[in-house]
Amino acid sequence: MLFNSLTFFALFLPTLAVYWALPWHRARLVLLLAVSLLFYGYHHWPSVFLLLFTIGFNYAAGRHQQSRPSRVTMLAAVGANLSLLLWFKYAAFIATTVNSLLGVVGMNLAVPVPPVFLPLGISFFTFQVVAYQIDVYRREIPAEPSLLRFAVFKCFFPQLIAGPIVRAKDFLPQLVNAVRFDAAAFHRGLWLVLAGLALKIGVADVLAQFASEAFRDPAALTTVGAWTGLYAYAFQLYADFWGYSTMAVGFAALLGLNLPLNFDTPYAASSLQDFWRRWHITLSVWFRDYVYIPLGGNRHRQATNLLLTMGLAGLWHGAGWTFILWGLGHGLWLALERLLPKGGFFAENRWGRLLRWLAVFHGVCLLWVLFRAPTLSLALEYYGRLMLPPFTTSKVPGVLTGWLLVFAMAQWPVAQTLREHAFARLSLKAQWLLGLAAIYLILAYAGAKVDFIYFTF
Amino acid sequence: MKSSDHPEPPEQGRPAFAGRRLLFFTLGLAILLGGLELLVRRNIPLFEGASHRMLAKVAMFGEQRRVDFLFFGTSRTQDGISPPLVSRHLAELSPEFKGAAGFNAASTGSNYEDLMTVAPRYFQRPGLRAVIIELSVPHLSNQPSLSPAIATHSQTEEDRLTRAVNHVAFVRYRTAFLTDNLGRLPALLFFSSRLSGYETRGSEQIASFLGREEPAPAGFAATVWQPEIISPPNKPTPLEADLEAAAAKITVLAKAYTERKIRVVFSVPPLTARHQPAPERDRLRPLFAEVARRTGCEVWDFAAQPRPDEFFKDSSHLSRKVGRAHWSYALAHQLARETGKR
């Protein structure tokens, strides 16, 4: 059940009405839990049992830590969660890699490749509970005493499948007392849902056609075709995930709950460090707090820490060497940035800043090739078309140019309207105009039903 | 003083009168969407027409006050025939045609399957006297893009909901709002009754809207523009498999009109000598003869003799200023002759 499906809205709208009609806080939480399980089970109902198991296990582990705090308990709880992730997401990849290595060294052995089903959103909800267990251990938050509240925190449907990765200290307190209807929050929620849907349907799905075409057969591309295909993918990925996250925050706001925004015009970044402060913010913060800093952070072996953290971030995105290389590429670049003086190779003036922005944007785009290409050889082929002769040109479809330019320009004002209360403070005419523009994009381009990219992670 | 006398200042950045703003925003959007729904419901054929080139012609055709002659074909016919010029010259040739009007229903990508799909929208129109159908390689090879309305009985929840929301007119005809299609809407909504179907450019549409007449072709010579006329032969012509399939399709299409006493003529658009290869000049000739035999209709082959480059904007499309006027006049001559035979 995708956020851009009618089925989802057929579930959400009655839920919203009943939610606000219910006078009892506990009943609202029960409703949220039931709808979350239905939402999750609609895609693959046996996965609900896995979800219920992790709820029960993590609730109990948290309570245990509260009464008898111990590093071993925390590590066991984190290890158990990561083992599930490892099994479901990485077992096949590890087995295939081991088999390849055995083949290379000439050993006639084969590790059986397990036929494992990947439960939806496992990467996201595993990270959420890992953070919870560590925070409880560090005494940053108390273990949640209510199983119902913990279950709602663990599987709150707007953010269950693809984030934002919500921290317990930010979300659980919101579930303690009855939520009062807040017109301003509801207003914002409406706009976030509309804007998110428009980003997904009207931008990401349109650009997806061009990006898919480019990556289907890179050898057939001209140099211009390869670059425009890459730009199309860069903006498709951004609009897709930004749209999804924005909708998630919007649905939560309609229910009176607050989730963090996950994007802040990342392609305007002036350095890669700046990029990661703006792109998938909740994941960046997670890796910073639970991997990078525990590894030593800036204090010692900074470059190694960055490489390790970003390599793991790559692996988190997908079980494949292209993802690992993508992460390592980012890690290496971040490490190099630390070695260079502030501003890098560019002067600290207007032109220098422009050149630095261009370099960061194109560097990020180039690394997206690894992220998008299904195999390493296809990625290399794509790099070849981007940067090696023969340098050839072809006509760029007008729709693609137009869409890229409009989206590139519109991302800033759109991002401004998503901030707290910014939309509601606009004049009514501006609100109607933006609302109609979003509805126009949704209406005209609905029907492609392309899956959200981050659902696969 | 009670605290209620002094309402608390709004939270930092929080809009004042939040409830009222939310109400006005949602009400305003609802009213705007209601207005859009009314607009679409009152102009369903036009919004449907905006979604597809061929349907746009159907919608425009529906807005015409009178249509005697209808031209079907690809961009070769669309660019090459001006119905007002054909009608004007017909009226000059024979008083019988005074007031007769034509409509150019040709469009880029046209094909016989789609023409069959939309045929009922044309042949039910009273007063239609003749239909001129293009025979050419692109008309044979273009792929159908209009799917006949097939009722889907898929039972997934999403399908059922899609069918339900399609009862909202602006949702059902939403493809009219795609950027590629949006450009058709103004002309369709505001002055489609004044267009004759050949106006593909905004400037041409405005000229037709303002009632500007196209000039007659300078130095037109009917003998130079005489087509090779293929009359229905008595003996069948053997055809290769692909041409046999094409002949069957074309025959079905022609009979949809002839069975309703609407005259059908086939025309092969003119080509330049540099248009190579041109199967219209060699490989398709057996098809022309066989189509004529099966339908009992003449084929006017304007491609049999290559025409000078000066009439063309490229090797197969007549120019708007010169070629279109000449071919329109030549067609008027043939229509006058053909109708006079009866």
Find the angle CA(A363)-CA(A368)-CA(A374) to the nearest 5 degrees.
Answer: 150
pLDDT at B150: 46
At B330, the amino acid letter reads: A
DSSP codes joined into one string, A17-71: HHHHH---HHHHHHHHHHHHHHHHHHH-TTHHHHHHHHHHHHHHHHHHHHHS--H
β strands within B256-312, DSSP E: 263-268, 299-301
Mean pLDDT to the nearest integer, B41-70: 90
Q: Which residue of A has its CA nearest to B182?
A: A444
C-alpha A158/C-alpha A88 separation (Å) is 23
Nearest to B28 among A432, A444, A445 (CB): A432
CB pair distance less than 8 Å for A425 and B15: yes
pLDDT at A344: 65
Q: Which residue of A has its CA nearest to B168?
A: A443
Q: What is the pLDDT of residues A392-415, one digit of tens each?
A: 888 888 888 888 888 888 999 999
B128 burial (CB, 10 Å; 0-12 / 13-18 / 19+) is buried
Mean pLDDT to the nearest integer, A317-330: 93
What is the residue-averaged pLDDT of chain A? 90
Residue A412: Cβ within 10 Å count: 11
**Selected catalytic residue, list A317, A330, A362, A421:** A317
Going by pLDDT thresholds of 50, 70 and 90, the confidence category of residue B2 is very low
Going across the sheet that includes B69-72, the strands are: B102-104, B69-72, B130-134, B263-268, B299-301, B228-230
Q: Is A416 on the interface with B (CB under 8 A)?
A: no
pLDDT at A448: 56
C-alpha A141/C-alpha A135 separation (Å) is 6
Q: What is the pLDDT of residues B74-86, one digit of tens each?
A: 999 999 999 999 9
Q: Is A443 on the interface with B (CB under 8 A)?
A: yes
The structural domains of chain B, ordered by start, are: 67-144+222-341 (3.40.50.1110)
Dihedral, CA atoms, A53, A55, A57, A59, nearest 10 degrees? -160
What token pair was written down for A142?
A: 């108390």
Chain A residues with CB under 8 Å of B13 CB are: 420-422, 425
| A307-316, A339-348, A395-404, B135-144: least confidently modelled range | A339-348
How many CA within 13 A on the CB side of residue A375? 6
Indicate the SS3 state at residue A359: helix
Q: Is A451 on the interface with B (CB under 8 A)?
A: no
pTM reported for the whole predicted model: 0.81
Q: What is the pLDDT of residues B224-279, one digit of tens each?
A: 899 999 999 888 888 888 899 999 999 999 999 999 999 999 999 999 988 888 88
β strands within B66-222, DSSP E: 69-72, 102-104, 130-134
DSSP codes joined into one string, B176-243: GGSHHHHTHHHHHHHHGGG--S---SHHHHHHHHTTPPPPPPTT--TTTTPPEEEPPPSS-----HHH
Residues 6 or more apart whose CB falls under 8 angstroms from that of A77 comprise: A57, A58, A61, A62, A65, A133
Nearest to B179 among A399, A439, A443 (CB): A399
Residues of B at the A interface, defined by Cβ within 8 angstroms = 13-15, 18-19, 21-22, 24-26, 28-29, 32-33, 157-158, 161-162, 165, 170-171, 174-175, 177-180
C-alpha A172/C-alpha A62 separation (Å) is 14
Mark whether A300 is an active-site residue.
no
Q: Is A439 on the interface with B (CB under 8 A)?
A: yes
ipTM of the complex: 0.83
Residues 6 or more apart whose CB falls under 8 angstroms from that of A288 comprise: A309
Dihedral, CA atoms, A124, A130, A136, A138, nearest 10 degrees? -120
Indicate the SS3 state at residue B300: strand
* pLDDT higher than threshold 50 for residue B3: no
Nearest to B18 among A187, A420, A432 (CB): A187
What token pair was written down for B304?
A: 């049999």
Q: Tell me the helices (H) and strands (E) count for chain A, helix number first.
A: 21, 0
Question: Is B94 or A116 the better-scoring residue by pLDDT?
Answer: B94
* pLDDT higher than threshold 70 for residue B210: yes
Chain B residues with CB under 8 Å of A425 CB are: 13, 15
Q: What is the pLDDT of residues A2-40, one digit of tens each?
A: 788 889 999 999 999 999 999 999 999 999 999 999 999
pLDDT at B148: 55
C-alpha A326/C-alpha A367 separation (Å) is 6
Cβ atoms B299, B288 nearer than 8 A = yes
For residue B267, what are the β-bridge partners?
Answer: B134, B300
Cβ atoms B63, B105 nearer than 8 A = no
Q: Which residue of B has its CA nearest to A449?
A: B158
